[in-house]
Amino acid sequence: MKKLSIATIIAFSTTSYCGISQATETRSTYAGIDAVYNSMKFKGGYGDNLFKKNAPGLNLFVGHMFHENFGAEAGFEYDKRMKRSVQVNGSELIGGVANTGIPYINYDSKVKQNHPYIGVVGKYGFLNNTFVSLMVGGSLSHIKANYVITGTSLGSLLNGTTRSYSKSKLIPIVRASVEHKFAEQFGIRGLIAWKNTSAIKMQAQENNTYVIKPKDSFSFGIGALYYF
């Protein structure tokens, strides 16, 4: 009986250890970087004729899978500041405000944005070391933009007139990705993401009559992962 009890305890301990080991193996912490290309248009008359629509950027991220199918990820996407010089006809709206009747006005504009985020991740493996995943979360997005008049058809009377915009807001973000783990600690992924940037409405700091309205943005990218 004593030998049987000892054997039972050893068997139970071994089974428990295997269970813990398997549970541990389903967990993985990772970090990495994505090269992204973000497209964010503006609504007609509310910035579409002033600002660049597309911008390259980088996304730094870290995540942890609590289970082989469920986890969480946090990251910080930073897009490059984009500049544009444009001539706008007098018939077009500028920041939602009608032009003064001047035949044309020249503008220099800048826009930049960043998107720190956190979300829950669902992952499913469908081929050897290849996974599809979906992340749903929130992004505390910040958009900063400004434009300045550099000349008009009537001369330099309005030169230097500036409108500046800046706002941060918590918005939804959804991202789908395909990930391939080609080594024990290294992988790559391709992704597409949607952000509800149309929820961000910005008034000019100099005159709140002037408003710009982004549309929802879409990002495409490819990244590298390191598994700890």
Task: Decide if 198 contacts 214 (C-beta within 8 A).
Answer: yes
Residues sharing a CB contact under 8 Å with residue 12, sequence separation 6 or more, in sequence order: none
What length is written for the chain? Answer: 228
Q: What does the longest C-alpha to C-alpha distance in the chain come to? A: 106
Break the chain into its structural domains and give their ranges. Answer: 28-227
The pLDDT value recorded for residue 99 is: 78
CATH topology of domain 28-227: Porin (2.40.160)
pLDDT at 188 over 80: yes
CA dist., res. 223 & res. 170, Å (int): 25
Helices (H), the chain: 2-25
| Among candidate residues 199, 180, 202, the one with its CA nearest the CA of residue 189 | 180
- Structure tokens, 223: 């990244």
40, with CB counted inside 10 A (0-12, 13-18, 19+), is buried
Select the more confidently predicted residue: 189 or 21: 189
pTM score > 0.75 for this model?
Answer: yes
Q: Which two tokens stand for residue 95?
A: 């920041």
Q: Return the pLDDT at 23.
A: 37
Q: Which residue has the higher pLDDT, 185 or 90?
A: 185
Give, as one character, the DSSP assignment of residue 51.
S
Task: Using the structure block, give the residue that is written with the tokens 């979906």.
Answer: 134
| Average pLDDT rounded to a whole number, residues 124-153 | 96
pLDDT of amino acid 27: 55
Instruction: Give 154's pLDDT tier (boundaries 50, 70, 90).
Output: confident
CA 216 – CA 42 distance, rounded (Å)? 9
Mean pLDDT estimate for the chain: 89
Are 223 and 34 in contact by the 8 Å Cβ rule? The answer is yes
* CA–CA separation, 221 and 223 (whole Å): 7
Q: Which residues pair with 161 in a beta bridge?
A: none
- Bridge partners (DSSP) of residue 114 are 78, 142
| pLDDT for 141 | 98
Six-digit token pair at 113?
Answer: 């944005």
pLDDT category of residue 84 using cuts at 50, 70 and 90: very high
Q: Residue range 63-91: average pLDDT?
A: 96
